[in-house]
Amino acid sequence: MIPPYEDREQTAVKHRILTRYLSGFVPIVGNWNSNITYIDCLAGPWRSADPNLADTSFASAIEVLRATRKVLSARGKTPRMRCLFIERDFEAFAKLRRYCDGVSDIEVTAHNWDFTNHVDDIVRFAEERSKSFPFVFIDPTGWEIVQPELIAPILRLEPGEVLITLMTSWITRFIGDKSKGFERLLGVDLPRILQLEGEEQEEEVVRCYAKTVRDTGRYKYVCTLPVMKPDQDAFHFFMIYGTRHIRGVEVFKETEKSVIPFMHEARAMAQERRRFEQSGQIPMFGPEARYREKKFTQFRLKNLEVAKCHLRDILQGSEQIPFDDAWAITMQYSGVMNSDLQNWIAEWKNAGQLEITNQQPGQKLPQKNRNQSLKWRNN
């Protein structure tokens, strides 16, 4: 783990999610949009340990925009790239402003705003250029700022996508405190969620919030991805991603596939560093040899079973469904990958329970964008 992220490895994982996604998102969107708008609603910097602020979300995004602009230029595409960085704290904003003043190759606007009072201004910024595609990053330390009613105008930007940090560890810790007003976050689902405990409650908080984001923003797809605490076998927060296009899901799943091993590696190194600090002994084996984790493994196994049952129920209740739809349905479950879906299809097909329409000669399993469908055989 690079030194600036020591003791905040979860931030390194979050920034990896952001940059890995943008690296795939920008080249796709830049093919048909003349303006790409990146908005960081709570830019900071916070706890930055790099004198050049390289360990911040805004600096990471700028570097991705520079790199992807070269990719697009090689294709003969020259979309205009614009950034809006917002920070309420005056001292943090002063650092942000100094950084932005040093950026001359990308259009950067910075405002010392309280985000909650300027949602309409953010929407105007996103819409002021024709053929603009905004990507909005909302990364709070609490929950109040991401309440659906407040950010609804941002969620409804169309076209547009959003990535939100949902601080589940904080929410589940205080969810029983009536003074916190969690009904503004979870609405009518709150009384039911309060009856749950532990992992079940945490999962339901994420599911209900993701559904509200989907409904409010009229997104076709919402994906979620947990980020673990460095020193505890627990989730710290979930990243909530909303998109209206299956290509967005594809890029996000590639991001997830890349980030999960990175997260475990970062946690292993953090745990090894803490052991050394406590004992002063140099270990005989590498960090991976002593790395321990159960939470994510159990979470993934549960999601695999839930996603499989969900898809099977849909197949059994329909005449047939396009494979592209089946893929998108299952990929919205965190931890579920394309290989898992293909394994289920192979299992059902070999058992004589499933047909694949429009299958090409020599093709064993379906593929996206081939106009193929899945049909359950009701024997």
Q: In this structure, what CATH number is given to the domain that contains residue 315?
A: 1.10.10
User: Do 250 and 369 share a domain, yes or no?
Assistant: no
Domain assignment of residue 59, yes or no: yes
User: Do 221 and 364 share a domain, yes or no?
Assistant: no
Write the secondary structure of the chain as one string of H (helix), E (strand) and C (coil).
CCHHHCCCHHHHHHHHHHHHHHHHHHHHHCCCCCEEEEEECCCCCCCCCCCCCCCCHHHHHHHHHHHHHHHHHHCCCCCEEEEEEECCCHHHHHHHHHHHHCCCCCEEEEECCCHHHCHHHHHHHHHCCCCEEEEEEECCCCCHHHCHHHHHHHHCCCCCEEEEEECHHHHHHHCCCHHHCCHHHHHHHHHHHHCCCHHHHHHHHHHHHHHHHHHHHCCCEEEEEEEECCCCCCEEEEEEEEECCHHHHHHHHHHHHHHHHHHHHHHHHHHHHHHHHHHCCCCCCCHHHHCCCCHHHHHHHHHHHHHHHHHHHHHHCCCCEEHHHHHHHHHCCCCCCHHHHHHHHHHHHHCCCEEECCCCCCCCCCCCCCCCEEEECCC
Question: Which pLDDT belongs to residue 281?
Answer: 62
User: Do 66 and 187 share a domain, yes or no?
Assistant: yes
User: Which residue carries 């919402």 as its tokens?
Assistant: 222
Question: Which pLDDT belongs to residue 80?
Answer: 93
**Dihedral angle over CA of 207, 209, 213, 219, nearest 10:** 0
Question: Which pLDDT belongs to residue 297?
Answer: 96
User: Do 327 and 251 share a domain, yes or no?
Assistant: no
Residue 63 has pLDDT above 50, yes or no: yes
User: Do 220 and 89 share a domain, yes or no?
Assistant: yes
Please report which confidence band the pLDDT of residue 378 belongs to, taking 50, 70 and 90 as the band edges: confident
pLDDT per residue over 96-111, tens digit each?
999 999 999 999 999 9
Q: Of 254, 269, 284, which marks where a domain is finished?
A: 269
User: Do 233 and 170 share a domain, yes or no?
Assistant: yes
User: Do 253 and 327 share a domain, yes or no?
Assistant: no
Domain assignment of residue 280, yes or no: no
358: exposed, middle or buried (Cβ count in 10 Å: 0-12, 13-18, 19+): exposed
User: Do 96 and 131 share a domain, yes or no?
Assistant: yes
Rounded to whole angstroms, how far apart are CA atoms 62 and 100?
Answer: 10
Residues in the chain: 379
* pTM score, whole prediction: 0.95
Domain assignment of residue 106, yes or no: yes
CATH number at residue 110: 3.40.50.150
Q: Which domain holds residue 66?
A: 3-269
Q: Which of 81-90, 213-222, 273-282, 306-315 has the lowest mean pLDDT?
A: 273-282
Q: Of 227, 253, 269, which marks where a domain is finished?
A: 269
131 touches 198 (CB < 8 A): no
Question: Which pLDDT belongs to residue 129?
Answer: 82
Rounded to whole angstroms, how far apart are CA atoms 195 and 172?
Answer: 12
Within 10 Å of residue 168's Cβ, how many Cβ atoms? 24
User: Do 238 and 308 share a domain, yes or no?
Assistant: no
Rounded to whole angstroms, how far apart are CA atoms 40 and 48?
Answer: 16
**Of 153-157, 266-270, 366-370, which one has max mean pLDDT?**
153-157
Number of structural domains (the chain) is 2
Closest of 67, 56, 37 to residue 136, by C-alpha: 37
User: Do 37 and 115 share a domain, yes or no?
Assistant: yes
204: exposed, middle or buried (Cβ count in 10 Å: 0-12, 13-18, 19+): middle
For residue 267 the two structure tokens come to 């946690």
For residue 309 the two structure tokens come to 């049952």
For residue 205 the two structure tokens come to 């908080």
Closest of 306, 305, 328 to residue 374, by C-alpha: 328
Please report which confidence band the pLDDT of residue 364 belongs to, taking 50, 70 and 90 as the band edges: confident
Q: Of 251, 269, 287, which marks where a domain is finished?
A: 269
Domain assignment of residue 127, yes or no: yes
Residue 273 has pLDDT above 70, yes or no: yes
Percent above pLDDT 70 for the chain: 95
Please report which confidence band the pLDDT of residue 289 belongs to, taking 50, 70 and 90 as the band edges: low
User: Do 51 and 186 share a domain, yes or no?
Assistant: yes
Domain assignment of residue 135, yes or no: yes
User: Do 52 and 133 share a domain, yes or no?
Assistant: yes
pLDDT per residue over 36-50, tens digit each?
999 999 999 988 999
Domain assignment of residue 288, yes or no: no
202 touches 172 (CB < 8 A): yes
Residue 230 has pLDDT above 70, yes or no: yes
Domain assignment of residue 322, yes or no: yes
**Mean pLDDT for all residues in the chain:** 93
Rounded to whole angstroms, how far apart are CA atoms 338 and 343?
Answer: 9
Question: Which pLDDT belongs to residue 56?
Answer: 97
Q: Strand 321-322: give its sheet, edge to edge.
A: 321-322, 373-376, 354-356
pLDDT per residue over 171-211, tens digit each?
999 999 999 999 999 999 999 999 999 999 999 999 999 99
Rounded to whole angstroms, how far apart are CA atoms 308 and 311?
Answer: 5
Rounded to whole angstroms, how far apart are CA atoms 315 and 326?
Answer: 9
Residue 227 has pLDDT above 60, yes or no: yes
Domain assignment of residue 299, yes or no: yes
